[in-house]
Amino acid sequence: MTLALVGCGGGSDGGIKKSSVELIVLEEGQTVADVLRPRSSSLSSLSSSSSGTGGEVPITADPEIEGDRLFVRSTDGQQNISGFEFCCGQFDTYQEHEFLDATGDFIKLDGGFWGSGVEGTIGERVFSSYGDGFDDAADTSAAQLGPEAMGSLRSPVFTIARNYINFLIGGGGNRFDTANATAVVLIVDGKVVRHAHGKNQDNKVTWDSWDVSEFAGKSAQLEFIDHHPNDGSDASLPYLLADEFRAADKAAVAPPASSKVPTSIAVAADPLAIGQPLFTRLTDANQNIAGFEFCCGRFDTYQNHSFIASGDFIRFDGGQWASDIANKQGDRVFASYGQGFADESDAVGEWYGWEATGTLRSPVFTITSPYINFLAGGGTNKFDSAYATAVVLRVNGKIVRQATGNGLEKTLGWTTWDVSGLMGREAEIEIIDKHDNSIEDGSFPFLLLDEFKQASMAAAVPADDSVVSQVDGHGKSLALDMGDPNPFYDNGNYYIYYLQNGGFHPWYMAKTNNLLDMSYPLEVLPASGDAAKQDQWIGSGSVIKDSNDNYHLFYTGHNQQHNPVEAVMHAVATDNTLANWETKHELTFSGANGYSNFDFRDPLVFWNSTAQKYWMLITSRYQSKAAIGLYTSDDLNTWAAAEPLYTEVSPLNLEVADYFSLGTTPFIIYSDQRDSSRQVKYLRENASVWEKPLNDALDGNAFYAARTAGNQDERLLFGWVSHKKGRSDSGVPIWGGDLMVHQLHKTDDGQLAVSLPEKYRTGLSVAQPADIVWTLGAAAESEESIVVDANSAFTLAPSTQKNRLAFSVNSANENAQFGIELRNTATNQRVVIAVDAANGLAKYYRDGDAANPDNPVVAVPLDIIEGINIDVLLDPQAGVGAVYFNNYRALSFRLYGLPEYEVGVYSGADAIAVTDLERFSR
């Protein structure tokens, strides 16, 4: 299709006259009247020129002296505070110089920062968000805050008296209305009307200009914003620089049109007639999942339609029939209540009412239009409320827009987000309902949503509070519902890559440095879902940094209809966030030279300094045996098959193998796929032969698919504790689960051992009450111990927080049996981790279900006379826990109802002593 716009014009003198012509392409359903006479507050036509008179923009040759200082200090008009030529007042220097509303680290700043290291500054000092600061008013020792500093600050109020504001700006390139903002904005009548940011040039400022002629005579303020936490979540510089703000009649540079922030917009007459669905289903782009027009898949319907669900939402049957909802489009809407199903075998279901809670994440999409429009109803609690009923837009994992329902029970209304500054970015919608209908707070305890579209026109005027720009609230407590983890350690951070537990298993990534908090999980490597491609499904792999500090990701491509079924694929990082990857399809390869190409997965790549080659461990079959295969390479691109490191007669495989050294001792960890021995195990090298040691299982069969990351000081083991069918404690184990992390170390005699991670000991260090709330039989407390008579027990109170217990147990009888007791007083359900020291076993089971072969069991040598040191980690929100014995073995378990369970110790036929009982949380 070709469009031509042709015109001519001339004056009486025959000369050509300039004409202002605008081409408007109407969207389907849009009329000329919609554009020329918008239904609501319309934006006045802007002049094609940036100058106040409509002519060419006058540019000054001397911006540093053009005009006047933009604002002055009332008590000292000669001091150049608009050029930041002040300092050394220590804590809160800016507010002492009539700046206002300092937040975060900006209240610590010591005034203008010495600018000798910043290119382009005027005078000696510059505004720098990383500058020198003081912790508080008593602090007398200045220290540079560094790029991790964040905050905001407003200038003194001034009157706009000239056509232009000129200034120097540098640092990060993120807009004020994006995540990780590093920007300066102009505020008039309480609204942001102009904005600017740096160009990601390190320690350099350049001139910028705003045309402010339309605001002549109005009062205004500047706001300086740095909300970038230096967390490596984007490639932008994490700081802001600014200098020499001046009011002038000539611009320093031509003001960019993008610097203007519209304060009014045209609203579409018929929002449904414009735009496209915001997101689509991977396997059926024509199905209107953005309008929730799907249903009847029973349990897990949302996740089967490319969403990611949590809480009660995993049980919902798709879009809710909406015959009684006014303004709905189509037949169905999203409702955070409705028909739900207990598990895959439930064909009847039940009604989940207003007490239902959960989250729902949309498929990832690219923002291609300036507005996102959708219909919303129900509760009005914002996303950061403890009882939120909200929907948010996340870019790069961080919340940048938010909305709630409209406060109406059965009526939807249009909501609009202005996302013009986010175009080209990948994003996702997150729907949040935390309101369990347990309190009356003036909000409906549910959310209704429908018809998410992106369009060139707004459906409604965006709410003033729809833009989210903040330091906190983007991360989450570390809890991951996951498939296989593939962790990577770099510069003090653990990048937890993992297979999404749903769909075609795309790779996601969350980052942590303390095992308690994490960045919001992002999709970093999508599966194609295409039945004709190798990567229809994707599987486990690994990340490696090469000698040139380039990052590579190796992963499995899986397609049952493809030949080969499984292959190794190779992607490279496109930036240092380690969240953006480009696959090199030409480097894909599969099993050969005796290796199967049906089972050929889980590539683990590392540099072997002894062999002076890159090694790749592979899950495969070799000569009809289960094999931990080996390929080698000099350059990470071309790989040669070598003899397997280890083989074993087994009908199934030795999955997700990992290779690492502790001290000078190399180890291999793998997951045994057989039902009869499905545990994470290890091998030890002896005279170049890999052997199974005694007690080779590190944990019970609830813990699986574990891989390691770390360094010589800290090596962590990341695996999942399996879900049970229907998310019910009585269900059978299924693939995938919640993250569990152990710490690895080597014993004095060279064995591999697991223990509670030190990061949990330091992070969960606030002492909690360890008072006994229930006893059975006799449990006598003294200052340091609790003597538990035979066939007795005691428990401590339940906790909803992640917490840990530490204690020791001993007995005079070497055959004494005891255990950890978990007790739900509301249901009378009892769960135990039974310890049989005489036979060296620990076993988890529910009362009445002790013989279930799926119950987790681990072999661990114990001496109860000498004493057994025990650590217990409880994660109630995830519904998982782990018990550690003598810093040697762990027994992980699944208990969905864990927040309601008391925890304690019970004895068998012999008395025991529990000493040094302590409990800690964050």
Query: What DSSP assignment string belongs to 72-104?
Result: -BTTBTTS-GGGT--B---TTHHHHTT-EEEEE
How confident is the model over 327-344, as a mean pLDDT?
Answer: 96
Nearest partner of 255 among 138, 314, 376, 169, judged by Cα: 169
Query: What DSSP assignment string belongs to 112-162?
Result: SEE-TTSBT-SSSEEEETTSEE-SSTT----EE--TT--EEEEPPPEE--S
Asked if residue 391 is part of any domain, the answer here is yes
On whether the CB atoms of residues 725 and 344 are closer than 8 A, the answer is yes
At 21, is the pLDDT very low, low, confident or very high (cuts 50, 70, 90)? Answer: very low
Shared domain check, 444 and 480: no
Domains contained in the chain, number: 4
Asked if residue 261 is part of any domain, the answer here is no
510 has a pLDDT exceeding 90: yes
Which residues form the domain of 87? 79-248
Task: Give the Cβ contact number of residue 588 at 10 Å.
Answer: 15
Q: Provide the pLDDT for residue 17.
A: 38
Shared domain check, 425 and 293: yes
Four-residue CA torsion sign, 443, 445, 451, 456 = positive
Asked if residue 147 is part of any domain, the answer here is yes
Q: At residue 119, what are phi and psi to the nearest 5 degrees?
A: -75, 135
Four-residue CA torsion sign, 677, 679, 683, 689 = positive
Please write the tens of the pLDDT for every residue from 516-531: 999 999 999 999 999 9
* Pairwise CA distance, residues 151 & 198, whole Å: 17
At 471, is the pLDDT very low, low, confident or very high (cuts 50, 70, 90)? Answer: confident
- The overall average pLDDT reported for the chain is 93
474: tokens are: 């983007």
207 has a pLDDT exceeding 80: yes
At 835, is the pLDDT very low, low, confident or very high (cuts 50, 70, 90)? Answer: very high
Shared domain check, 429 and 289: yes
How confident is the model over 633-652, as a mean pLDDT?
Answer: 98
Shared domain check, 586 and 502: yes
How confident is the model over 804-812, as a mean pLDDT?
Answer: 98
Shared domain check, 116 and 182: yes
Last residue of a domain, one of 738, 760, 782: 760
Task: Give the Cβ contact number of residue 904 at 10 Å.
Answer: 27
On whether the CB atoms of residues 627 and 647 are closer than 8 A, the answer is yes
CA angle, 190 as apex, 189 and 192 as ends, to 5°?
Answer: 100
Q: Provide the pLDDT for residue 492.
A: 95
Please write the tens of the pLDDT for every residue from 472-490: 777 899 999 999 999 999 9
How many residues appear in the chain? 922
Shared domain check, 901 and 858: yes
- The residues facing 487 across adjacent strands are 496
Shared domain check, 777 and 755: no
Residues 6+ apart with CB under 8 A from 612: none
Please write the tens of the pLDDT for every residue from 208-263: 999 999 999 999 999 999 999 998 899 999 999 999 999 999 999 999 999 999 88
664: tokens are: 């000078």
User: What percentage of residues in the chain have a pLDDT greater than 70?
Assistant: 94
The number of CA neighbours under 13 Å toward the Cβ of 70 is 29
CATH number, domain with residue 196 = 2.60.120
456 has a pLDDT exceeding 80: yes
Q: Provide the pLDDT for residue 34.
A: 40
How confident is the model over 292-311, as a mean pLDDT?
Answer: 95
* Pairwise CA distance, residues 233 & 229, whole Å: 9
Last residue of a domain, one of 191, 214, 248: 248
Shared domain check, 890 and 863: yes
Please write the tens of the pLDDT for every residue from 159-173: 999 999 999 999 999
CATH number, domain with residue 893 = 2.60.120.560
| Of 33 and 891, more confident | 891
How confident is the model over 191-216, as a mean pLDDT?
Answer: 98
Residues 402, 405, 407, 408: what is their CA dihedral angle, to the nearest 10 degrees?
Answer: 160
On whether the CB atoms of residues 503 and 289 are closer than 8 A, the answer is no
Shared domain check, 773 and 689: no
* Three-state helix/strand/coil letters over 254-317: CCCHHHECCCCCCECCCHHHCCEECCCECCECCCCHHHCCCECCCCCCCHHHCCEEEEHHHHEC
Cis peptide before 564 (omega within 30 of 0): yes
Shared domain check, 774 and 742: no
Shared domain check, 572 and 449: no
At 29, is the pLDDT very low, low, confident or very high (cuts 50, 70, 90)? Answer: very low
* 668: DSSP letter: E
At 638, is the pLDDT very low, low, confident or very high (cuts 50, 70, 90)? Answer: very high
| Amino acid code (one letter) for 204 | K
Asked if residue 193 is part of any domain, the answer here is yes
| Amino acid code (one letter) for 110 | D
How confident is the model over 303-308, as a mean pLDDT?
Answer: 94
Residue in this structure with the two tokens 């295969």, named with its chain if needed = 629
Please write the tens of the pLDDT for every residue from 590-629: 999 999 999 999 999 999 999 999 999 999 999 999 999 9
Q: Provide the pLDDT for residue 55.
A: 67
Shared domain check, 607 and 493: yes
Nearest partner of 904 among 769, 780, 803, 795, judged by Cα: 795
Asked if residue 429 is part of any domain, the answer here is yes
Q: Provide the pLDDT for residue 472.
A: 79
* Three-state helix/strand/coil letters over 690-745: EECCCCCECCCCCEEEEEEEEECCEEEEEEEEEEEHHHCCCCCEEEEEEEEEEEEE
Asked if residue 607 is part of any domain, the answer here is yes
At 8, is the pLDDT very low, low, confident or very high (cuts 50, 70, 90)? Answer: very low
Please write the tens of the pLDDT for every residue from 268-283: 999 999 999 999 999 9
682 has a pLDDT exceeding 90: yes
The number of CA neighbours under 13 Å toward the Cβ of 529 is 14
Last residue of a domain, one of 760, 787, 820: 760
12 has a pLDDT exceeding 70: no
At 36, is the pLDDT very low, low, confident or very high (cuts 50, 70, 90)? Answer: very low
Nearest partner of 853 among 733, 695, 693, 725, judged by Cα: 733
Please write the tens of the pLDDT for every residue from 844-895: 999 999 999 999 999 999 999 999 999 999 999 999 999 999 999 999 999 9
Q: At residue 796, what are phi and psi to the nearest 5 degrees?
A: -105, 170
Query: What DSSP assignment string belongs to 454-514?
Result: EESSBSSPPPTT-B---SSSS-EES--EEEEEEEEEETTEEEEEEEESSTT--EEEEEESS
51 has a pLDDT exceeding 70: no
On whether the CB atoms of residues 671 and 680 are closer than 8 A, the answer is yes
* Pairwise CA distance, residues 325 & 153, whole Å: 45
Asked if residue 406 is part of any domain, the answer here is yes
30 has a pLDDT exceeding 80: no
How confident is the model over 575-596, as a mean pLDDT?
Answer: 97
* 760: DSSP letter: H
Q: Provide the pLDDT for residue 47.
A: 33
Asked if residue 467 is part of any domain, the answer here is no
CATH number, domain with residue 736 = 2.115.10.20
